Structure 1
Amino acid sequence: FENIFQLLAPGGECFIILVITGAIFETGFQLSETPKWKDKLRRYREVFVFPYREDPKPVKTMEDLLKSVGFKNVFVKRENFNLIYPTSEKFRETLKCLPDFPNDMTKEEKLELLDDQV
């Protein structure tokens, strides 16, 4: 955010949208804590980093961070919304768009992971 602040003209304005998490990632976070997938997904949190996901006060954290680098008149709003996939197949196709993770899984394991995510 410091770089963004430095790029702004004096008195300039900006609009920032941050995603705290999303359904396509939550399935992986949840599965990474199960005995079945814990070892295979041990680096999931490192690859898909959402620093505010487990923050109990993400709005305050963001306000404090933006003010600390020099932003003035900071307004932070958290909105929860659910993205509804019309079918499980549409959700599966969205999951397939994610980077191939992790690389040490067999093709069969990756398909099984995909099934478990859906």
Structure 2
Amino acid sequence: MEDAQLYASANAMQKRDALLVLTEFLPQMAWQEEGEMILDIGCGSGDVTRNLLMPLLPRVEKVTGVDLSHEMVNFASKTFQHNSLAFQQLDIERVIQPRQVFPEGFTKVFSFYCLHWVKGQENCLTNIFQLLQPGGETLLVFLASNPLFTMYEIMSQKPQWQQYMQDVSNYIPSYQHKTDPVQAMVDVAEDVGFEVLSCEAPQFEFVFENINYLKNAIKAVSPFLKRLPQEQRETFLMECLQELAKLKTCRDDGKMAARYHLMIAHFQRPE
């Protein structure tokens, strides 16, 4: 996900789901009168942070968006400037002593469509726990399972693509093959020290209006595409679409639909 401009133009599913979840959960959160210190983990191109999250927040003192990708952070900083908003690079899984990076910590931590890329779930949640002030809340929204990842596993077995996808397991969500992903998530959160306010993994569906939009959506998030020779990338993308069609993603009207389970976790750091 290094093409920030492409991601910003092809993330309608992510934006729709973030809006749905925020609309439901923001009223359930406790909000301070003096304003909040907000962190958005995996801010990507910054459009969700600036145009969706910030306008919905009741009271804000400062919002910080962090992302693993320097390119995404640079794009977000240039494109979505605001006097209450800052972006910086941070690896939430591997950062050591995150309160040295953010000494004041945060009252709320959000993350949308990021944590399915994180293999070290316990490290990640531990760092979020440390970044939260006592009594602070976190709302984490990410893919528990998605046919996209099944497609990657299938593609990685094909001789033509195998050499570029030998580490495919690193890009499969931790909960993709869990029989009870919610309980697995709750277990990790409680081990870290969180109070679990709610955790669920409902099924969602998103319909792509045309095949080109779906292709761009895959292109925007594929960790493998940049490894391929330029002349093979279009073939790879078309094969990805063919494999997704075999996974019953095609509707009766011919449109492609993503049917997936979305992990929605609302935790609190005890006082």
Query: TM range, normalised to the smaller chain?
Result: 0.7 to 0.9
Q: Distance in 1 between matches of 2:223 and 2:200?
A: 33
Alignment correspondent of 2:215: 92
TM-score between the two structures when normalised by the length of structure 2: 0.38
Secondary structure, counterpart of 2:141 in structure 1: coil
Q: Which amino acid aligns with 1:93?
A: N
Q: Judging by fraction of residues, say which structure has more strand.
A: 2
- Note the C-alpha offset of 1:8: 2.1
Corresponding position of 1:80: 203
2:179 aligned partner: 56
TM superposition shift of 1:85: 0.7
Aligned residue for 1:14, secondary structure, equals: strand
Q: TM-score, normalised by structure 1?
A: 0.78
- When structure 1 is superposed on structure 2, of 95-104 and 11-20 the one drifting more is 95-104
**Pair 1:28 & 2:163 matched:** no
* Contact 1:24 1:94 (8 Å CA) reproduced: no
Cα RMSD, aligned residues only? 2.4
- Rounded to whole Å, the distance in 1 between the matches of 2:129 and 2:210 is 42
Q: Name the structure 1 match of 2:143.
A: 19
Matched positions, count: 117
Deviation at 1:77, TM superposition (A): 0.6
SS of match in other structure, 1:29: helix
Q: Give ranges in structure 1 of 5+ residues lacking alignment.
A: none
Change in CA separation of 1:39 and 1:61 when aligned onto 2, cut-off 3 Å: same
Q: Aligned partners of 1:86 and 1:65: how far apart in 2?
A: 37
d(CA) in 2 for partners of 1:104, 1:72 = 41
- The aligned counterpart of 1:107 is 230
Deviation at 1:23, TM superposition (A): 4.8
Residue in structure 2 matching 1:8, options 125, 132, 144: 132
Aligned equivalents of 1:14 and 1:104: distance in 2?
35
- Higher RCO (C-alpha 8 Å, min separation 6): 1
1:113 Cα deviation from its structure 2 partner: 0.9
Identity of aligned residues (%): 23
Q: Output the CA distance in 1 between the equivalents of 2:183 and 2:146.
A: 20
* 8 A contact 1:41–1:102 mirrored in 2: no
CA distance in 2, matches of 1:45, 1:35: 17
With over 3 angstroms needed to count, the CA separation of the structure-2 counterparts of 1:20 and 1:90, relative to structure 1, is same
